[in-house]
Amino acid sequence: MPFRIPPMSELLKAANQLEITYAEIRKEKDSNRFLGSIRPATYNSDRINDMQFIKTLAQHISDNKANYSNVDASFKGQDYALVVAPFLKEALSGALLLDLLKITRSYKGDETSVKKNSALGNVILDLFKIDGLSEVPLDKQKKCLEALKTYIQIYDAHAKANNENPIQWHGQRANTELRKIIEREIKTIIELEAQNNPHNIAVPY
């Protein structure tokens, strides 16, 4: 089945329930580990902060989706349902795919291990109804990451123009660092496209 972004309502609901769903899957995976009944529960601060980033972004999109075309001049006068909403879905999907890229790379591109061991990976895979990152075409990955980058840039610039404190999107990373991470992933995808990479997954770095 071709990769498809879920409806906005489904994306927002999944993001809002992300920590609960993650905790349930993490508990199940921990119980299935060797000596799982006596080993301590897994705690991954990176995953916790990444989930909070997704949740923060989703809440911001939910609160501001009707007003986005007034903030981003390139969308001024555009039809919400046909143009603005698809972009916002791509931006939120970009945050989810950014984490899936990170998780898949941490398993050295082994998608079977991602599905077997990563609780957050499973949440994202289930949401998109895929078995691995390789099922997401490179052009879709790039488009979603570009939308995410644009969304963050627009609101950072909006805050600066209005002498407001910028939104702290990620608990561990400054906004400039977060944008650089997104830009690096986009650059990697462009390089993969040039190589006609058949797997849609970057070589781990």
Please determine, for residue 4, whether its predicted confidence score (pLDDT) is greater than 80. Answer: yes
Q: What is the pLDDT of residue 204?
A: 44
Higher pLDDT, 60 or 200: 60
Please determine, for residue 36, whether its predicted confidence score (pLDDT) is greater than 50. Answer: no
Average pLDDT over residues 99-121: 94
Please determine, for residue 35, whether its predicted confidence score (pLDDT) is greater than 70. Answer: no
Average pLDDT over residues 170-195: 94
* Secondary structure of 88-129 in HEC code, one letter for each residue: HHHHHHHHHHHHHHHHHHHCCCCHHHHHHHCHHHHHHHHHHC
What does the CA dihedral 154, 57, 104, 178 come to, rounded to 10 degrees?
Answer: 40
Q: Average model confidence (pLDDT) for the chain?
A: 90
Please determine, for residue 122, whether its predicted confidence score (pLDDT) is greater than 90. Answer: yes
Q: What is the pLDDT of residue 90?
A: 99
Tokens 């702290």 label which residue?
168
What proportion of the chain, given as a percentage, has pLDDT over 70?
88
Do 121 and 154 contact (CB within 8 A), yes or no?
no
Does the predicted model carry a pTM greater than 0.85? yes
Do 38 and 44 contact (CB within 8 A), yes or no?
no
Between CA 153 and CA 11 the distance in angstroms is 21
Please determine, for residue 111, whether its predicted confidence score (pLDDT) is greater than 70. Answer: yes
